[in-house]
Structure 1
Amino acid sequence: MSNDFPAFVAAGEALTDLIRTGPDGWRSLVGGSTWNVARVVASLGLPSAFAGAVSRDVFGAQLAAANAAAGLDGRFLQQLDKAPLLAVVHELDPPAYFFIGDDSADLHFDAAALPPGWQAGARWVHFGGISLARQPLADKLLALAEELKLHGVSISYDPNFRALMDQRYDPILRRMAALADVIKVSDEDLRGLFRTSDTDQAFAALRAMNPDAIYLYTRGEHGARIYQGASSWSAPAPKVSVVDTVGAGDASIGALLYSFIARPADTLEGHLGFAVAAGAAACTAPGATPPTLQQVMQLMRPIPPTSPVYPTPGKNAV
């Protein structure tokens, strides 16, 4: 039965951040862009899953435990006898990091091993992060996205730029942008992906790859803007006491997708306000802590009742 499966799935990477705390000190944190997005949607109250592979060692066990604690559907997480994927953050200000993950578990993800029939329950499947910059995983995820698109499942994409996304990533960017119904991007992403300081030109180039997509353009403390065709709406960031900005972008796109599924009658401006409030809420706690629905609603700015209602994408959307 399709209703046995989550309405939202994020496919990609879950990893361990090893963060330097001093000359001889380190701490580990569970993370990963796509995994964070799945946790956000679950925290807001929608049945969700992370589709990806982790190791079976101490790092993978920590991720599996956190996956379960987040309420994600465990049938979608694959644990393999392979090395873990580690992000070593050796400097914090400014952040400097590198990845350790040759032949690691994430690269051996097998979409065919996901629960049979899960696609029938999926309304949205999210892609992005470094999983799309790591072969052979990237090609597996691209094939999965193309298959889902053929079956009418809505696709979202957040490239979430990292240094390993050089010219070799360009064809993947074009293919994923063409497939996606919703694309989330930040000004930092645009500068990195297009290797330019001209963010306006970069954003225009990205939109040209798929003029029909909805674009969420986040700008940190300056809020965000959402684009659909020739129309756009902006929302300022709510004033909060910032503890940590890690995971704010993941919270924004996760909340936007939650809003599309759970609040289908809202306007695009309303969906944007929900997403921006979630991003701000994520900044009030350390690490990539997913916001709760109550936290988001408390930060929501009132939307004028005269705002027109536009149909939003999504399988079986109202």
Structure 2
Amino acid sequence: MRKIISIGELLIDFIQEEKNSYTMKAGGAPANVAVTNAKLSGKSFFVGQVGNDSFGKFLINELKRFNVDIKYLKKSSSANTSLAFVTLDENKERSFLFYRNPGADQLYIADNISDLDFRDSIVHFCSVSLGDYPIRDSHDYLLSKAISQGSIISFDPNIRLNLWDDHDKYHQTINMYLKYANILKVADNELEFITRKSDYNEAITLLLNLPRLKYLIITKGNKGATLYTKDFVIDVPSYQVDVVDTTGAGDSFIGAFLNRISIYGESYEKDVLCEYLKFASIVASLTITKFGAMDAMPYLDEVNDYKNKKG
């Protein structure tokens, strides 16, 4: 089994339940991926930082509760834990307001991971932590070392435009990091921003030509997901469920797909990859039937029970 190492933000999600009511949950896309894998019986490490405050203590305890290895999770007294207020519309879709300027997560330094062993690992990262702070240098160090030790690299840009004043710089930054990806997961509504292509097929072709890419996954909400390799395409549907909150849906999808890779290995067999994708789709569908992200993500026995009921 490969371990999954996620680097980036771990923060507090204040998620809207009613018009003027918010509930505190643990969040942050890379951390959500680590938790997804751990709840599916995988081995997860999280690399990041929280503030030396009550929010940070809560987040540390949450990762412990979900059996994520926190050896490389640090506490900072120089900045507070980052906060995100998540507002839900009538379709349970989200918008974000961040309090993070800078947050403790952005001040994470590369010295903290000098002894991290990347052998037999999958490294996962997103774009939210690629601004001009020490955490970006930590990404650069981690990715370089991971690639040298044969790690599989997974990138989910997970675009948050309101965190960047200069969107052209954001676009350029994302494209600088696309070259590292063996696995790239992109939401369909992010394609044009990332590729500057309004034509869907042109955008897909551009991404498939990335030098290290093996799998390109396009998630499409309730329309399912599509996986592209250089040789074939696989479409999988979403599962029809009662939607409570879509927070963490994309993170749980890629986390579950990486879990299958970590346990059963990379494959270029279409049938095998189709099973990986169906598994990921079930995990994401179950996640949106509950409130929050980490709490909502299913354990492996819940996924198996759902598969058995569906036949």
TM over 0.5, shorter chain: yes
1:150 alignment counterpart: 148
- Equivalents in 2 of 1:226, 1:17: separation in Å? 30
Report matched runs for 1:1-318 at 5 Å.
7-19=3-15, 25-81=21-77, 82-89=79-86, 92=89, 95-114=94-113, 116-120=115-119, 122-133=120-131, 135-163=133-161, 164=163, 166-194=167-195, 198-210=199-211, 212-264=213-265, 267-288=272-293, 289-300=296-307
Worse-superposed segment, 82-91 or 247-256: 82-91
Worse-superposed segment, 228-237 or 263-272: 263-272
Q: Is the 8 A contact 2:108 2:135 kept in 1?
A: yes
Please give the secondary structure, in 1, of the residue aligned with 2:261.
helix
Q: How many percent of aligned residue pairs carry the same amino acid?
A: 29
Worse-superposed segment, 30-39 or 140-149: 140-149
Please give the secondary structure, in 1, of the residue aligned with 2:242.
coil
Please give the secondary structure, in 2, of the residue aligned with 1:60.
helix
- Equivalents in 1 of 2:287, 2:298: separation in Å? 5
Please give the secondary structure, in 1, of the residue aligned with 2:226.
strand
Deviations 1:125-177 (A, max 9, x none): 10114112453322321331122112111110100111135211233322322
Worse-superposed segment, 188-197 or 102-111: 188-197
Q: Cα distance 1:199–1:7, how it changes in 2: closer, same or farther (>3 A)?
A: same
* Uncovered stretches (5+) of structure 2, i.e. residues with no partner: none
Higher relative contact order at CA 8 Å, sep ≥6: structure 1 or structure 2? 2
- Equivalents in 2 of 1:197, 1:135: separation in Å? 31
- Equivalents in 2 of 1:188, 1:127: separation in Å? 19
TM-score by length of 2: 0.85
Q: Cα distance 1:74–1:25, how it changes in 2: closer, same or farther (>3 A)?
A: same
Q: Cα distance 1:139–1:198, how it changes in 2: closer, same or farther (>3 A)?
A: farther
Q: Is the 8 A contact 1:7 1:46 kept in 2?
A: yes
Which amino acid letter does the alignment assign opposite residue 137 of structure 2?
D
- Equivalents in 1 of 2:156, 2:43: separation in Å? 20
Please give the secondary structure, in 2, of the residue aligned with 1:174.
helix
- Equivalents in 1 of 2:20, 2:232: separation in Å? 52
- Calculate the aligned-residue CA RMSD, in Å: 2.6
Which amino acid letter does the alignment assign opposite residue 14 of structure 2?
L
- How far apart are 1:124 and its partner, in Å? 0.5
Which amino acid letter does the alignment assign opposite residue 83 of structure 2?
L
